[in-house]
Amino acid sequence: MVTCESLGKYTANADSEDERLYQFLQAKGLSVSFQVWDDENVDWDVFSAIIIKSPWDYFDKIAAFYAWLDKLEALGKKVLNPVKTLRWNADKIYFKDLVRQGVQVVPTCWLNKGSRFEAGPVFEQLQTDKIIVKPRVSGGAKNTFAITREAAAAHTGKINALLQEENFLAQPFLEEIKSKGEWSFIFFGGEYSHAVLKTAKPGDFRVQHYLGGAVHTPAPPAALLATAQHLANSFAAECLYARVDGVEQQGELVLMELELLEPFLFLSMAEGATARYYEALQQLLK
């Protein structure tokens, strides 16, 4: 089970999902260990399967992460989720593939490395008065800005400095995140397991639990679940796990992110979720 050197802030306000999963798999008779993905002393060739669980610093070391994936691929190791899926999912440019296949994704303006951020055209393209700007390769709300038209000038210098280092994207701020919350639908082996609804703390827009967001477990609307299942069927057919994140707009699911790399799985929020994870793992280990 792949982890990172320090889970750090990401474990705040969260249960110890990795440890609970480790204990469960051991109790089922599997020989399991945690390994840090960028530890050069690890001999990856000795493992029969490599489960990607919490390499939560990959976006800070993306070149090294891609090189590590290349190494696993060259060794011919069984990696869950598959290397080709991880590589594709690491960069949010994959949104373009989804749109080409008719998926309703949050409208996105691409800000290429080395370019200049000009707020006016971005607001016009997205037809909104408030936007979110974040890196294309990102996690944990790192370098994420919520910007109104009036306050855009105050953020331009910082964004332009960051644009010299990496690619960014801009999207409209969806008020539904504050008013309704963000859904996460979790699938194991392509089968639906459970869903949670994440809401931000008062005065914030970030729904991550380690940033003070709350997690609820209402029954998801059938139409939203059907869309999430279609996405899992279409893009996560060979995956041990998948998480579909989105918001409800006019009764439909608008995709925020298709999480196939290292999502938190909210295993403690649904009875039997860990067992369903194990059953999907067993099928893929055959």
Sketch out the chain's domains with CATH numbers.
2-89 (no CATH), 109-173 (3.30.1490), 176-285 (3.30.470.20)
Report how far residue 6's alpha carbon sits from residue 61's, in angstroms, rounded to the nearest whole number. Answer: 14
Note the pTM of the prediction, 2 decimals: 0.92
Average pLDDT (156-172) is: 97
* C-alpha pair distances (Å), 121 with each of 145, 203, 249: 17, 28, 25
For residues 98 and 201, which has the higher predicted lDDT (pLDDT)?
A: 98
Please compute the mean of the pLDDT values over residues 195-217 and round it to a whole number: 71
Q: Is the pLDDT of residue 13 over 50?
A: no
pLDDT band at 178 (very low <50, low <70, confident <90, very high): confident
Q: CB of 160 within 8 A of CB of 116?
A: yes
How far apart are alpha carbons 215 and 110 in whole angstroms? 30
